[in-house]
Amino acid sequence: MPSSDPYHLSKPPDSHVDESDSDLEIDLEELDPQAADPKNHQQSSGQHHGRDSSEQRPPPPTSIALRNLRMGSLRRGAKRNGYGELGRSRDGNDEDADALLRHDRHSVGSATHDEDAGLLSEHGGGGRTRTSSGRRRRSFASDGLRNISMKLPGFMSGDQSNHNEEQEQEEDDPSSSRLVAVGSSQSTRFPPNIISNAKYTAWSFLPVTLYNEFSFFFNMYFLLVALSQAIPALRIGYLSTYVAPLAFVLFITLAKEAYDDIERRRRDNEANSEEYTVLQFEDPGASLGINQPRRKMKSSHTRKGSKRLGIEQENDRLSDIQEEEEQTEGRGIRKLPASYLSEISKKSRDLKVGDVLKLTKGHRVPADVIILKCLAHDSAANKEAEEEEIPAREEMLLLDHVDDDNVGEGSSKNAKSTRENDNNGAEGSSSGETFIRTDQLDGETDWKLRLASPLSQNLSTEELVRLRVTAGKPDKRVNEFVGTLELLPSRQDVMSGAAYNPREGDDVKAAPLSIDNTAWANTVIASNATALAVIVYTGPQTRSALSTSPSRSKTGLLEYEINSLTKILCFLTLFLSIVLVALEGFSTAKGNIWYVKIMRFLVLFSTIVPISLRVNLDLGKSVYSWFIQRDPGIPGAVVRTSTIPEDLGRIEYLLSDKTGTLTQNEMEMKKIHVGTVSYANEAMDEVATYVKQGFNLSSSASSASLALATPSSTYSAANVGATRTRREIGSRVRDVVLALALCHNVTPTSEEDENGQTVNSYQASSPDEIAIVKWTESVGLRLAHRDRKNIVLESAETGRPVVKVRILDIFPFTSEGKRMGIIVQFYEKLQPGNPSLGSSEIWFYQKGADTVMSSIVAANDWLDEETANMAREGLRTLVVGRKRLSLKEYQEFSAKHHEASLAISGREANMQAVVSQYLEHNLELLGVTGVEDKLQKDVKPSLELLRNAGIKIWMLTGDKVETARCVAVSSKLVARGQYIHTIAKLRRKDGAQDNLDLLRSKTDSCLLIDGESLAMYLTHFRREFISVAVLLPTVVACRCSPTQKAEVAKLIKEYTKKRVCCIGDGGNDVSMIQAADVGVGIVGKEGRQASLAADFSIEQFHHLTKLLVWHGRNSYKRSAKLAQFVIHRGLIIAVCQTMYSIALKFEPEGLYKDWLMVGYATVYTAFPVLSLVLDKDVDEDLANLYPELYKELTSGSSLSYRTFFVWVFVSIYQGCLIQGLSQVLTGIDGPRMLAVSYTVLVLNELLMVAIEITTWHWVMVVSIVGTFLMYIVSIPFLGDYFDLKFVLTLGFLWRVAAIAAISLIPTYAAKVIRRTMKPPSYRKVQGI
């Protein structure tokens, strides 16, 4: 086992030729018992030959010790064969190893080979042979009498590992369990460790996007129209007139989708390129050349330098003695480690199942792993511990020399046990524990304790390749895992990929694995330690990936509404075509077939369904996305799905995560109440003064340096001149601070910051406890040391220890008990060892939730009131109490508790009953603490603004019920005085129905429900639950799994048909974000998974208000106006065509052909119409001041059937007037009529855009004026269509002006009258 450093780079032997430690090489000199002289050995312990012929030797003993026979050769060859180096490293003290070159175990007589392995020296083939774990090494004499069968050397039998790597791997079956060889290549191919939020692959992009496009009715309509032009009888004008616009629309849409997906892949690539340190295990004797850059692992001895020289010499001597003892037990000579170590750096995407990761504090876990070893960092304490071990080693060596000639079994065992104890205690001063943060996985704020299996923790790092993990099939349950860890004799056995059949003498060990040994992907290492972990699940098979629904293409509500309107327009087109043919009569004469004429009319009227609508809307979406990403008020905002910005203006339900979204997951002690007085904010300085007085022990006494404070002596140093009331308050404050400093599960740690300075920090499963311990440090009482037996508190000012206690019992916090307790015995002075039980005070301290502690503490008149006051402020309250125990009471309790702990059935209940009977009654109430979970910036005003905007807010979290309640209150999600109805641990259906009935009668209350109850409702009362829940202003669901979050989002969408927005920051929120109509991700501290999977990414929760209330509102109103205007533009030209066909006696002849048709929809009207995306009815300040303006949009009034038919009526009116008057004033047919009609049509559209603009922008002015001038300039080039001479006359001008005035003035007048009689809301707030 390692002594100080967890691992180092093992070095291969210097030579394979000169080795002489085999039983085949025995000097005659070794047979001389005088060679075993202890004095002589001491003199030559570090040298190659240590015999001095001139030295007088003692008389020989009656027998020759076996170790002298064997170890003589080892000592002589120490420098040649490298054992001295191995002895100094001590990394492979007593582990079994693989051969330098592996041999084929399946060859004939392999069993005999294994048994006779001791006979083969390193001369044969240059490689060491492998012996199984725990097998007795045979002497030369016994081995020589056996049949010797030679084994082929490694270079002839081939390297097994290379063969395994080259052979084709089997495909992984995700429905079966898996065998994972630690640190080696796998016999099964597993999926790569890749994060992917992309919606398409290279193969699926075109089929999926084209399917999505043509699933919209108007795209399919235009495809049919374009295909119809391939039929000569239906062709009108150029084929390109119909095909080119459709192709352009599809190109724009596909290009935008491709860009969005490429951006997702680029960001995924950033996450997949994160570097991780992986341990490389090389076979002994294998080539050390590795293509990838690697870093040798430093030995602790190298780091410690010359100061460690003496220790190294002792280690070297100790290694020799340990080898002797192993020989005495018949375990054989020390062998090479199973592998040599090096570190390489791998990208996250290159990690594979079986890789051993080296993870340190703050590292995000890239895949699902099993923790093998937890290693504490070097510290001063570790060095002191090492130095303390030296005398013990010296004593052991001395004893060994004295008893050299009569070594017995007993002394051997004692030496072995001492050595094992040394090793077990020296594993980097670590007990195999680490903490992880899982808030990115399940939303819980508490840190989770994770343990390395003792089987792997107590194994040297080089020997980890002998481990094999058996794990179950991939599963999305994050709180369950069952597996097995096996230690096999060799690496080849591990890599065989099959169930291992132990041979005789093999020592195969196995240990169970549970959830406590795991760290899932997207969790974060929280402890200041190094964890070595093996990957068992990668990529799509990780828990977080399985809990995440696949990415889907999202389509905005506006798209569906426009799709419905185009169906009406298409029906109108068909109706018009049939009417016009019917008015002429259904003729079947040759060249005048009625159904052909209907088809031609359908083609002519195809402009009613404007294909340019998609182009304009898509360009508008791009503009909105550009505005969002460049808004200085939302720094860091990213639009990942640019197809749904309008939906930001239609949100009615907001589902929010808690941890990291509404809160910072940073706890802070805000208030403490001690019965008669409450302290908060600046008043904490007074608490510090009381603590300083209470623990300022007198320095005049001779034993001042050893004196410690106890609860009874604490008050002696108080200010004698103070009033009695102040003294009482001071004693209360000191008591509660002492209780808080002792009653917890916090461990102090130290680490180096970037500047190399030592920084003290704390680690615990609960951030609440860390906040309280940090607070006690801030008021003067610091937690200096904590282990399983003792707690030491020191003065934060002087650094002098003031309190030391012995931990007698701990009762940890449970979700059922909601309290934790500790029994401690106080030291009265600093002294080595533990005080006897009767020599000093024994106290029981307990803290817990007010709901359980109120019945435990003594009667009082202030607890309920103060806890209610703190709860109203959103603080997490803890009630603190204590009780002094006599020796008799404690002994009686301890005996009963121990007896209850041995019960087979009902153990937990019996133990709790004993605690309740002896401890949990009439506790002295010390005080109440209030801890605040810090909210994100501006969360309270943001939630209030969103509520005023008509958005119902649900909080879905994986955290505890109490935590969720406190955050709901502190964030003002729940209004002051609002009734909170809690449903928790619901298991019966009748109770579920009763709760729903109660909520129906109280629709102004808040519902607080846990995951277990929610699962019952979603399973048995799905419809009834959601019908009640959507009526409530606020719903808080806690203990939710990622799948439940997504299910709630889908349920709201299905039942209400409203737009749902989900916002979160962790990997556990991805499913919910992808299930929502609009997913918003916050860039979290530890991960960007939610941000990568979201449609919109922001950095702070309060940015959401601007995203919805400003950008969402503008996007929706602008797109609604743009869509209706494009429909108007297409409908008016269809009306003109209808009027022209009627004048031609219902002949399907085109009015505007070729360039006139294309130019009208592009050059002459496109830019002014598109400039409407810059329009805004109110400025940003008014939008935030009156969020009710947003509430109006949820009804969809900006684009409804009513507004649509108003625009249809306007289009019919203007089209009839423009074409009718043009025909009346200039004649039915001819270039003059065409010139007047087309010019008025273009001018009408430009002026209509100007009428519709609410707030002018310089781009609008330029586009309108510029387009009109462009049309004027292009008229000379339209000689094929217009009578250019007529265009230059005054008759042309007055006709154009008259027709335009008659078309526009009534329209504008109606708009002004309506705005005056019934002004819209934005007009009202502008007038305030």
DSSP-derived letter for residue 625 is H
Q: Return d(Cα 826, Cα 841) in angstroms, integer.
A: 6
b/e map 206-231, b = 16+ CB within 10 Å:
eeebeebbeebbbbebbbebbebbee
d(CA 603, CA 607): 8
Q: How far apart are CA 1018 and CA 952, in angstroms?
A: 20
Counting Cβ atoms within 10 Å, is residue 1305 exposed (0-12), middle (13-18) or buried (19+)? Answer: exposed
What pTM was computed for the model? 0.69
CA separation for the pair 494, 506 (Å, rounded): 14
Look at the block and give the residue holding tokens 């999305």: 476
Phi, psi of 1238 (to 5 degrees): -70, -40
Torsions phi, psi of 369, nearest 5? -130, 160
Partners of 1063 in the β-ladder: 656, 1080
- Strand ordering across the sheet containing 448-451: 448-451, 433-437, 524-525
Nearest Cα to 37, choosing from 16, 19, 60?
60
Q: Residue 957's closest CA among 295, 439, 242? A: 439
Q: How far apart are CA 1315 and CA 1318, in angstroms?
A: 5
The angle that helices 1231-1252 and 1113-1143 make with each other, rounded to 10 degrees, is 160
Yes or no: say if 598 and 578 are a contact pair by the CB < 8 Å rule.
yes
Whether the Cβ atoms of residue 1182 and residue 1326 lie closer than 8 Å to each other: yes
- Cα torsion through 771, 774, 778, 784, rounded to 10: 160
Q: What is the pLDDT of residue 576?
A: 82
> What does the alpha-carbon distance between residue 716 and residue 738 come to, in Å, rounded to a whole number?
15
- Strand 638-639, strand 1096-1098: pairing: antiparallel
CA diameter of the chain: 144
Would you say 1232 and 1283 are in contact if contact means Cβ atoms under 8 Å apart?
yes
Task: Give me the pLDDT at residue 335, please.
Answer: 58
| Separation CA 521–CA 756 (nearest Å) | 30
CB-based contact 176:471 (threshold 8 Å): no
DSSP, collapsed to helix, strand or coil, labels residue 82 as coil
Long-range CB contact pairs, 900-905, < 8 A, 24+: none
Helices (H) and strands (E) in the chain, counts: 49, 38
Residues 6+ apart with CB under 8 A from 994: none
Q: What is the model's pLDDT at position 507?
A: 67
Please tell me the distance from the alpha carbon of residue 996 to that of residue 1009, in angstroms, as a whole number: 12
| Bridge partner residues of 953 (DSSP) | 654, 1034
| Sign of the dihedral through C-alpha 244, 247, 251, 257 | positive
Place of tokens 């504090």: 361
pLDDT at residue number 4 = 39
Q: Is 717 exposed, middle or buried (0-12, 13-18, 19+ CB in 10 A)?
A: middle
Q: CB neighbours of 1166 closer than 8 A, spacing ≥ 6?
A: 612, 616
* CA 999 to the chain's CA centroid: 35
Whether the Cβ atoms of residue 550 and residue 379 lie closer than 8 Å to each other: no
Q: Which residues are catalytic?
A: 657
In Å, how far are 46, 311, 312, 386, 866 from 305, measured between CA atoms? Answer: 19, 11, 10, 14, 59
Q: What are phi and psi of 876, to 5 degrees?
A: -90, 115
Average pLDDT per 10 consecutive residues for the chain, totaling 1328 residues:
44 42 39 41 40 41 39 40 38 38 38 37 38 38 37 39 46 76 88 86 88 80 80 72 78 85 86 90 61 43 40 46 47 62 90 93 90 71 40 38 38 37 39 82 76 90 90 85 89 75 70 90 86 93 82 81 86 84 72 76 76 82 93 91 90 91 86 90 88 68 62 58 77 92 89 72 84 92 89 88 92 85 90 79 92 89 88 88 93 92 86 92 92 90 92 89 87 87 86 88 91 90 92 91 90 93 87 92 75 90 94 93 89 87 79 82 88 90 90 84 91 92 84 91 93 91 94 90 88 93 92 87 74
- Residue 768: the pLDDT is 86
- Is residue 1272 classed as helix, strand or coil in its secondary structure? helix
Q: Are 445 and 963 in contact (CB under 8 A)?
A: yes
DSSP label at 59? P
Least Cα distance to 468 among 172, 115, 188, 94 occurs for 188
